[in-house]
Chain A
Amino acid sequence: MSQASPVSEEQVSTAISARKRRSLFSLVVGNYALQRIGRAVFIIYVVTTVTFFLDRLMPGNPIQVYVNNMVAQYGISYNRALQMAASLFAINLKEPMLTQYFHYLIGLLHGNLGMSLLSQGTSVSSMIVQYLPWTLFSVTISLFISFVLGVVLGMYMAYRRETLLDHVVSTLSSIFHSVPNYLTAIMIIVIFGVELKWFQVGQMRGDLSPGVAPGFTLTFVGNALYHAMLPIITYVLTTAGTWALTMRSSTIRTLEEDYVLVARSRGLKDRRIALAYVGRNSILPLFAQLTIAVGFVVGGSVLIEQIFVYQGIGWVLGNAINQRDYPVMQGVFLVITCSVVVANLLADLVYSKLDPRIRIKG
């Protein structure tokens, strides 16, 4: 025993230090939330970097676009326009790309997204603060409506398979899913606005009618909804059917589960089985897709908001791209990235709350 003790003591001490190291390491790796947040930050960094360089790889730069506009619109000579642009934009595009990148990153770490190149004296963050709420408002409402509508329709279709409603909704969903949403938007304007004159497209532009002050008043909320109505209808029309089809197939799969048959043999009421057994389990896979949808809708708002002239973040991005307003583009892309990443994070955490198989290891 005594002979072996020095060796074993050494072994023990290494083992202890190894365990200590592992416990520190496993604190980060083992903690689900920390792990997810770390990954989220990394994704945001990568996307920020990629968009920074991609923006600048686009043909033309803000000065060229401005100069071309000036020459085309006012017939000013090229050199004169260049001089005007140089005095107007306090930017130095000659600076090496990497230097610009590091300046941008350092600014970002200080929460400074830079200044818009074209709207003089406006910071990118103030633009985001001004326009993002409108997009979030319209997108959240449409996601909620289309998700609930899709889930209810999908369950109904699964229970009443091969009925008229099932066929009608399936066909319409496929059509609206395959037609790009901006075409749907244009058709809404042309058919209902221009031809049938059900509403005044011009009046519905913008976020609010002139003279309506923001506040928690009925007029404000009503007016905001009125202006957001067309984008919301477009989002709902183009996505609700997809939710319905997904929910339909998920429900059909769940209906075949043994526990549904056993629930029936236990004498449970059909309503209880439909809600707590079939519905509750069928909806789980849809939550994962909900997060992807959040990203798509925010990103997809660019074209829709342009078409309806709904002044949200997508509209800002569209304008910024047209004029090569790099800082604004970067800022909006950052917002879109963050919204997708945050939605994913939320979904992971919510999903683990909803599904005990993930929350509690067996």
Chain B
Amino acid sequence: MSIRSDSAPPASVDGATLMSVRDLSVVYRVGNRLVRALSNVSFDVMPGRALALIGESGSGKSTLGSALTRLLPRTAEITSGSITFNGKEGRVQLLDLSSEELRRFRWRDCAVVSQMAMNAFNPVMTIQDHFEDTAAAHGLRDKAKIHDKAYELMETVHLDAKRVLPSYPHQLSGGMRQRVLIALSLLLSPELVILDEPTTALDALSQRAIIKLLRRLRQQLGLTMIFISHDLSLAAELADDVATMYAGQIVEYTDVFSLFDKPKHPYSVGLIGAIPDLSADGASLVSIPGSPPDLVSLPSGCRFHPRCPLSDDKCERELPLLVETEPGQKVACFHWKDAQTLKGSDAFEGRNS
């Protein structure tokens, strides 16, 4: 894993956020049980920056991604909060939009490159059809123009437009489909692109290529992006800011360099310790003991306390809030000052391979 040397523009000082999420809570109703997938999540996305949402499976990161374009499954319900999108069309409250307004908002203002690129295309339509369909849904019907734009985007993602555009999805490889989906996401020049596990379904080589492509797109187009991933190395390579999620909450929000340099939440420390380092021997690989909590019956107090080496009575009783420790850095832990001591220690059990 490498920490990049290039750096995106810093968070704008005037505080003009592109998207701000406040106090967002989502529950799933499964039978008569409530699965609390997201609890009071708040964060801002600054224009031109890339935010990574990282966490284990079940941490709520994908639910958050779906909630941002209001594409949650039927069983999910947003119980509180607000999502404000402050784009070129003015300020909109996403939770107040009608379904027709939402439809227009999707892809034009905020495109989602989902983790299911393998199966993201209608099998009976060509790639060209998908571009035309998307454009037509947003009122663009000039086929020649759309074709030119599609052609140009194919070049941008390094695909042979002549071959790919008339193809059916099954004729393309997984990596190619992911590129096509990225190209398609740029069709309407959205202000925000959400990438949900953009590399997870791909082989290692395709992953590298997609990461390179996304970095280049960020540099060329200055895109604002949200990455959703369980893969810290993806965040390290692509993101400016990282929000670490645990059990439906953001437990740490910081810029990527500070996260890897001085993680403040014990969970972040554990996550970073759990990254396999190919250059070192297996002894340095550390795992976090225990497993994420059941979202139906959450532990009292801090949700991480049963697995945390620093937990004490207070952690069992009280839920720590996300507090600012330095400008642009927030953490939800009573003992964040001590988190550094966990780094490299054997507080998280070492695992020999």
Contacts and interface: CB of A to CB of B under 8 A. Distances in A.
Dominant SS among interface residues on chain A: helix
Q: Which 8 A-B pairs have the closest CB atoms?
A: A258-B116, A267-B106, A258-B119, A267-B107, A262-B120, A356-B168, A362-B170, A268-B137
A80 interface: no
Interface string A245-261: 00000000000011101
A262 B181 CA distance: 10
A277 B120 CA distance: 11
B133 A272 contact: yes
Given A267-B134, A356-B168, A258 B114 contact: yes
Interface residues of A, number: 24
B10 interface: no
B238 to A, nearest CB: 21
B137 A264 contact: no
30 contacts: A258-B114, A259-B123, A262-B116, A262-B181, A264-B71, A264-B106, A265-B69, A265-B71, A265-B106, A265-B107, A265-B114, A266-B106, A266-B107, A266-B184, A267-B103, A267-B107, A267-B137, A267-B138, A268-B133, A268-B134, A280-B122, A354-B124, A355-B123, A356-B124, A357-B123, A357-B168, A357-B170, A360-B170, A360-B171, A362-B168
Interface in A318-362: 354-357, 360, 362
Interface in B44-92: 69, 71
A261 B124 contact: no
Contacts of B184: 266
Contacts, number: 81
A257 B118 CA distance: 11
A259 B137 contact: no
B104 interface: yes
Interface in B79-136: 103-108, 111-112, 114, 116, 118-125, 133-134
B120 A276 contact: no
Nearest to A280: B124
Interface of A: 257-259, 261-269, 272, 276-277, 280-281, 284, 354-357, 360, 362
The winner among B108, B122, B133 for most chain A CB atoms within 10 A is B122
Interface residues of B, number: 29
Contacts of B106: 264-267
Given A258-B119, A276-B125, 12 more contacts: A261-B71, A262-B112, A265-B111, A266-B111, A266-B184, A267-B104, A267-B106, A267-B107, A268-B134, A280-B122, A357-B123, A362-B170
B123 A356 contact: yes
A281 B123 contact: yes
Contacts of B181: 262
A276 B124 CA distance: 9
B69 A276 contact: no
A33 to B, nearest CB: 21
B171 A362 contact: yes
A277 B133 CA distance: 11
